[in-house]
Amino acid sequence: TRIAIAPGAVLLRKFAEHMATPMLAAIGQVITQAPMRHMYTPGGRRMSVAMSNCGTYGWVTDQRGYRYTRTDPVSGKAWPPMPDVFREMARKAAEQAGYSDFNPDACLINRYMPGSRMALHQDKDEHDFSAPIVSMSFGLDATFLFGGPRRTDRPQRIPLGHGDVLVWGGPSRLHYHGITPLASGNHALTGDRRINLTLRRAR
């Protein structure tokens, strides 16, 4: 089912569920090469979400700020290539949502454990805001906070489940958003975790 949640933003419930097993296997391959790590915000706070990346560019944060890099600062090596199954799923989801020819060059992998959260923020480290962002959720359910163009806009709360895919573009591309602290639970494929893939055009 296709649910319009704001101008330019579409929720595709269970769109990726049928590919969850191969996609989780591909995530496992990526993180043997670029292990999940807790990064630090420019203000010195340790993020409760653990992250890794694949694709030409990866998103990182440290004392110097937020940015995209071609190499993993932990290993000094290029980020692992983006698995075809991620690229193809993202392209199909974007197409369903009305964005043709989405070609992501960056995939951020977010791992939430019970209590992990993501504070309200905007995604504005990309060069071109005309490309959409595609986000896919696996494992435990989460509550997504979807605000407006100002931090003070009261957010909607949207439950996200296993296999759900969100596509963001147009007017909602720069809206504030976040994830409330993950509740504990057990999922057959991921155990006590939620995994989110966020595919972007960084450059």
Q: Note the residues at the interface with ligand MD3 (CB under 6 A).
A: 108, 110, 118, 123, 133, 135, 166, 168, 172-173, 175, 177, 179, 196, 198
Among 11, 16, 123, 147, binds Fe ion (CB under 5 A): 123
| Minimum CB distance to ligand MD3, residue 116 (Å) | 9
Residue 13 assigned to a binding site: no
Residue 200 assigned to a binding site: yes
Q: Rounded distance, CA 32 to CA 53, Å?
A: 12
108 binds, among Fe ion, ligand MD3, none (CB under 5 to 8 A by kind): ligand MD3
CB atoms closer than 10 angstroms to residue 3: 12
DSSP 89-117: HHHHHHHHTT-TT---SEEEEEEE-TT--
166 binds, among Fe ion, ligand MD3, none (CB under 5 to 8 A by kind): ligand MD3
Residue 27 assigned to a binding site: no
| Minimum CB distance to ligand MD3, residue 196 (Å) | 4
Helices of type H across the chain = 20-33, 84-96
Q: Rounded distance, CA 74 to CA 131, Å?
A: 29
Under rule CB under 5 A, residue 126 binds Fe ion: no
User: What SS3 state is found at 132?
Assistant: coil
Q: Rounded distance, CA 41 to CA 118, Å?
A: 12
Residues in contact with Fe ion by CB under 5 A are 123
Which residues are documented as binding site for 2-oxoglutarate? Answer: 110-112, 194-200
